[in-house]
A and B are shown apart, each in its own frame.
Chain A
Amino acid sequence: MALPGGLGNVVESVVDDRVTDEALEAVALNRFEYHRILELLGRPPNELELGMFGALWSEHCGYKHSRALLRRLTTESPSLLVKAGEENAGAVDIGDGLAIVFKVESHNHPSAVEPFEGAATGVGGIIRDIFTMGARPIALFDSLRFGPLDTPRNRYLAGGIIGGVGSYGNCVGIPTVGGEVVVEDCYAGNPLVNAMCVGLLRHDQLTRAEAVGEANPIILVGADTGRDGIQGATFASVEDPEKSARGVVQVGNPFLEKLLIEACLEALTTGAIVGLQDLGAAGLTSSSVEAAARTGAGVWIDVDKVSRRAARMTPYEVMLSESQERMLVVAEKGREEEIVAVFDKWGLHSDVIGAVTSDAHVTVAESGTPVARIPIEHLNNPPEYRLPVELPDYLATVNDLDIGEIPEPDDVAEAFLSLLSSPNIASRECVYRTYDQTVGSNTVAGPGADAAVLRIKEANRAIALSTDGNGRICYLNPRAGGAMAVAEAARNVVCSGARPLAITNCLNFGSPDNPAVYYQLAEVIEGMAEACAAFDIPVTGGNVSLYNEADGVQIFPTPVIGMLGVIDDVDLRVGIAFAGEGDLIAVIGYVHGSLDGSEYLKLAHGQIKGRPDIDLSREVAVQSVCTSAIEARLLTSAHDISDGGLAVALAESCFAGGIGAAVDPGSTSARSDELWFGEAPSRILVSLVPGNLEEAKALASARDIAFEVIGRVGGGDIVLGDDVTVPLDSAREKWSTGLSAALSGKSAAH
């Protein structure tokens, strides 16, 4: 059979319209999609072409199940230099001619199979998304979720993932300054690894990932291409990665990545680069097609020119390899040597593997003969699905929390201490001390703070960033949960003294073919959209990871929000630590929380129930009171009240400051567990010198928000009304060792 356009002889098609289900399953396409391909091409695709469609039409690359829903998210803002979807990541103006590029991405499925390399290459992949835009990566965040740490398997996965994250980030020299560690039953067998990278650039350094200019050479730089990771994109889009071979997981080389960062940023200064695109999922196929799609151009790729790690690789293997640490450079014709010289300096070899064409096709050639030829627009426009939505059955049951059936704790102090040592609340230091947090010499506040704060050397300002997810809350109330994830990330950034500017997001969900899961996805996105509108901040891009389930258990719907804020004057920054003996402690917003979806309810009573909710206008008001008070320099500390409620927030501020505190909200109507351990959004714990109280109260009352003084900083104990008096040191001991004991299998309770 001949390809259209007089391209001469072609390879024999190994799959045609009688293609088997197995052949389609191997490339994660369904029969409807296959017929669509037949229609678009007007002929059967050959094996390579089918593989290319499979990769680019996968959920990982094509967002075919989520794209329609994602349109709900605000992507417009005057502060955006690059909007969602335009490039590899969004770019946000932070003033002074500077911009921040940031994005969060998942590497869940590879990490479930090979935790160390899966997590390491997740970090490597997101770093490439950032420097491909011309930005220098300045920070990493890692939001991790594991199954219960009482099984050796989950501890192995957790240990490997934490090790992989640290190993890659430390070597490549980008500080890991924040993230999350969450433990929940639903992540057993399907851990979540979401990595965020943040880059800094001057506006004039912004680089496009474009294949532009006919006959401009396409240069592949970095690692040789091997058989590792073939079909990784499609693998991430099927339900049971364990079934697939370990060979689809790639192996990372952070040293090579470091060389690539330096070489690419230096090569960009030559001015001879017209486009730069990283190779991620679906390797050469997606990078060349995406770069061409941005300009409407075409690309010609000569697979013979690609340096390889293995002998006798087929064009299929070369085009779909996901070997790490590779970049695609589109050079100005005639100036290739300038670019090659830079890569030579860094000991990296570079291959001219093709050229930009004007035919709007991707053409793959072997020995000068085309072996695949597909119009780029077909590859780049996967079908879009809106799947059936069904209210999940479980909601009615879990939303029905009768608080009257929950006994109040006999010993509040004991409940408090056991909460402090819960793996979801205890200090994360045993994890983050294995990460380099200060390389780059920009870290003003690192892990353990509400948000990481990085100074910008080129200006007096700083940026604050936080990553937050809340699978349990989204499970109980998907719409409110989506909004609360955004709200909490914003609150963390606000507590550091920053104004929220923009978010990136990673949506981790189960199988969209399950109508209840698709309902969760739709509702969570709706909630996020509502919150973004309330805060007036845009979404700059992100990533969708579906099919997160193991042994028939769907993970909780887990959006992870990466929030960027800016602090105009770095001196305005506030931390969580109590500082001065005699300072007043107050809560902005309601003092009381509820047990709905709380860590306490799960820990003490084994229940994940209730219907958490949020009033967004109230949330915005609480945050704006906090911002005004910080900008007026009224607050000594500010700390988001979240997991574990008021008692845990108070303890964390005490530990950070090395000083005790005594609080007594003076209400007798509430239950002790709700008062101390209840959770609810829109609450911030602050401390301030008594002389600032009137002014702070006035700011709050102007926005109709409560500002209630509940106690004072000082002493060597944590005192919770009449319920608890514990020495600071013994509370800290519980908090310091809870997670490390669980991770090492030494914890009795978990």
Chain B
Amino acid sequence: MKACVIVFPGSNCDMDTFHALKTVAGFDTDLRWHRDTDLAGYDLIVIPGGFSYGDHLRAGAIARFAPALREVAAAAARGVRVLGICNGFQILLEAGLLPGAMLRNNTLQFRHEWVNLRVDSTSTPFTRECDPVRVLRMPIAHGEGSYFADAETISRLKHEGRVVFTYTDDNGRAVREANPNGSLSNIAAITNERGNVLGMMPHPERCSEPVLGGEDGAMIWRSLAA
């Protein structure tokens, strides 16, 4: 598995993601700069969390114009796996690689907490090793994570099995109390039609080792390696 993490000015989960991919997952991993225009040869491209360009204007709104994003779009079209985490998810939405948009959290506050995630699809390359009946625990940390799309899009996402993670209670029920940000249908992660582009708000790179309080995030690396 050859992977890269794209670094934007203001990315702040880039090194965490690099550590998880390289040291924990054992992938051959590079850091690539947002101005780089040649991203050929990677099996996995990760757009990490953070505040690219300071979240100025709107989270992800400026990063979508970065030279590297053209290459990400081209790679996605070739079937390369693309994973956007947190700010990376926001960037993928702004770039049109995934449908919908992120609104400010309904609390109007930045929110950090560990959440429960139900795995709604194990047919993606990112989740094929997950146990669909086991609820995963991962941290979230964002101010703009309220997923929004029109009713038709939400319905399509559900019918096509493109909702990958849903915020739930301990028992996997998508109740309102388990929704940390006001996302429609408690949606935490979605894929594109082809299934090779995943956007997720929780941070798997922060929970891939037992010492950090959980290693459910490593399920994603294991799935990608499988």
Contacts and interface: CB of A to CB of B under 8 A. Distances in A.
Contacts of B172: none
A455 B53 contact: no
B29 to A, nearest CB: 15
Interface in B102-144: 109-113, 139, 141, 143
A166 B107 CA distance: 15
Interface string B1-28: 0000000011011011001100100000
A438 interface: yes
23 contacts: A166-B110, A170-B143, A171-B10, A171-B54, A254-B54, A255-B51, A258-B9, A259-B9, A432-B112, A434-B109, A434-B111, A437-B112, A438-B206, A438-B212, A439-B16, A439-B49, A439-B206, A440-B15, A443-B212, A455-B211, A455-B212, A457-B19, A457-B23
A153 interface: no
Contacts of A254: 51, 54
Interface in A88-115: none
B55 interface: yes
Contact of B212 (A172, A432, A441): A441
A252 to B, nearest CB: 11
Contacts of B211: 444, 455, 570
A441 B51 contact: no
Given A255-B51, A255-B54, A439 B141 contact: yes
Contacts of B20: 441
Contacts, number: 85
Contacts of A570: 211
A259 B212 contact: no
Nearest to B203: A438
A36 interface: no
Interface string A563-587: 0000000100000000000000000
Interface string A435-466: 11111111110000000000101000000000
B50 interface: yes
A132 B140 CA distance: 30
A440 B209 CA distance: 13
Contacts of B212: 438, 441-444, 455
A515 interface: no
Interface class of chain B by DSSP? mixed
A255 B12 contact: no
A512 to B, nearest CB: 38
B54 A170 contact: no
A309 interface: no
A441 B19 contact: yes
A435 B10 CA distance: 17
Contacts of A440: 15-16
Contact of B112 (A346, A433, A444): A433
Given A433-B111, A436-B110, A438-B112, A258 B51 contact: yes
B56 interface: yes
B132 to A, nearest CB: 26
A347 interface: yes
A665 interface: no
Contacts of B216: none
Contact of A173 (B12, B208, B213): B12
A259 B51 CA distance: 11
A171 B87 CA distance: 11
A440 B19 CA distance: 10
Interface of A: 166-167, 170-173, 253-256, 258-259, 346-347, 432-444, 455, 457, 570
A580 to B, nearest CB: 19
A255 B212 CA distance: 27
Nearest to A170: B110
B158 to A, nearest CB: 29
A256 B10 CA distance: 8
A439 B12 contact: yes
A442 B205 CA distance: 11
B117 to A, nearest CB: 16
Given A439-B12, A439-B206, A173 B111 contact: no
Contacts of B141: 170, 436-439
B9 to A, nearest CB: 6
A124 B151 CA distance: 43
A11 to B, nearest CB: 40
A347 B12 contact: no
Contacts of A256: 54
A438 to B, nearest CB: 5
Contact of B10 (A167, A255, A433): A255
B68 to A, nearest CB: 14
Contacts of A437: 112, 139, 141
Nearest to A437: B112
A347 B9 contact: yes
Question: Which are the 9 A-B pairs with shortest beta-carbon distances?
Answer: A173-B12, A255-B54, A441-B16, A436-B141, A171-B51, A438-B206, A438-B139, A441-B206, A434-B109
Contacts of A167: 110
A173 B54 contact: no
Contacts of B49: 439
A570 B56 CA distance: 39
**Most chain A CB within a 10 A radius of its CB, from B9, B20, B112, B206:** B112
A258 B53 CA distance: 10
A253 B209 CA distance: 33
Nearest to B208: A441
Given A255-B51, A441-B20, A172 B12 contact: yes
A347 B9 CA distance: 8
A255 B56 contact: yes
Contacts of B15: 440
Contact of B213 (A170, A253, A444): A444
Contacts of A171: 10, 12, 51, 54-55
Contacts of A172: 12
A347 B34 CA distance: 12
A441 B9 contact: no
A435 B12 contact: no
Contacts of B53: 255
Contacts of B208: 441
Contact of A436 (B10, B54, B112, B205): B112
A347 B55 CA distance: 16
Contacts of A435: 110, 112
A167 B55 CA distance: 12
Nearest to B56: A255
A457 B54 CA distance: 27
Interface in B40-89: 49-51, 53-56
Interface string B201-226: 00101101101110000000000000
B206 A434 contact: no
Nearest to A173: B12
A303 B140 CA distance: 46
